[in-house]
Amino acid sequence: MTARPVRPRHLLPWLVMGVLLVTAFTISTRRDSGPETMQARVKRVASEVRCPTCRQLSAAESDAPAAEAVRVAIAKRVQQGQSDEEIRGFLVSTYGADILLKPGGSGVAGLVWALPVAAFVCAVAGLALAFRRWHRAEVDPTADDRALVERALADMASGGGSGTMARSGEMASAAGSGEKDVPG
């Protein structure tokens, strides 16, 4: 079995798709270069933490008094000039690590981020391997297959008619069952 040479024409769609994906990821991760207002920063940080009482909403979305207290604490720390990490650290020390809506990127919590990516990469690699095997699979007819086809063609040329088709069907079923000689 010989491998076919890779033609640039076949690689072009994959290259274009790769360039488009990289461009889309780059554009989606880039932030606005304009300065962020204090209210926007408070809302952004509050949207990254849970409401301490309702738990299914972020502190930015909830109207609960505890969520309002979290927003006030965030605003106070933003005015003091603390970084987002320092504010999150304060909230974690006050309410516990589960106050954060996004899990950390290290330790066991890092698996939340790494496992889906690893599963996706494995799935794509498995599909690529399966398609490659499927594409390269060439089935050559055996000597028995050739003999069966020659007999069927000879029967069709000599007799024709529906009896020949019945015998051809018998030959095909005999070939599938492993029998060598079929009475006609």
The string of DSSP letters for the chain reads --PPPPPHHHHHHHHHHHHHHHHHHHHHHPPPSSPPPHHHHHHHHHTTBB-TTTSSSBTTT--SHHHHHHHHHHHHHHHTT--HHHHHHHHHHHH-GGGBSSPPSSGGGGHHHHHHHHHHHHHHHHHHHHHHHHHH---PPPHHHHHHHHHHHHHHHHT-SHHHHHHHHHHHHHHHHT-S----
Please tell me the predicted confidence (pLDDT) of residue 139: 72
Whether 126 and 166 share a structural domain: no
Residue 11 covered by a domain = no
The pTM of the full predicted model, rounded to 2 decimals, is 0.45
Residue 27 covered by a domain = no
Whether 75 and 54 share a structural domain: yes
The pLDDT averaged over each successive group of 10 residues in the chain (184 residues) is 63 87 84 76 90 86 90 93 90 87 70 85 92 75 91 87 49 49 48
Whether 48 and 79 share a structural domain: yes
Residue 56 covered by a domain = yes
Domain count, the chain: 3
Boundary (domain end) residue, out of 80, 102, 124: 102
Whether 88 and 119 share a structural domain: no
Please tell me the predicted confidence (pLDDT) of residue 31: 63
Residue 74 covered by a domain = yes
Domain enclosing residue 47, as ranges: 38-102
Whether 45 and 94 share a structural domain: yes
Whether 51 and 68 share a structural domain: yes
Residue 26 covered by a domain = no
Please tell me the predicted confidence (pLDDT) of residue 113: 75
Please tell me the predicted confidence (pLDDT) of residue 8: 67
| CB contact burial 8-36 (16+ within 10 A = b; e otherwise) | eeeeeeeeeeeeeeeeeeeeeeeeeeeee
Whether 49 and 92 share a structural domain: yes
Please tell me the predicted confidence (pLDDT) of residue 32: 60
Please tell me the predicted confidence (pLDDT) of residue 109: 67
- 95: CATH: 1.10.8.640
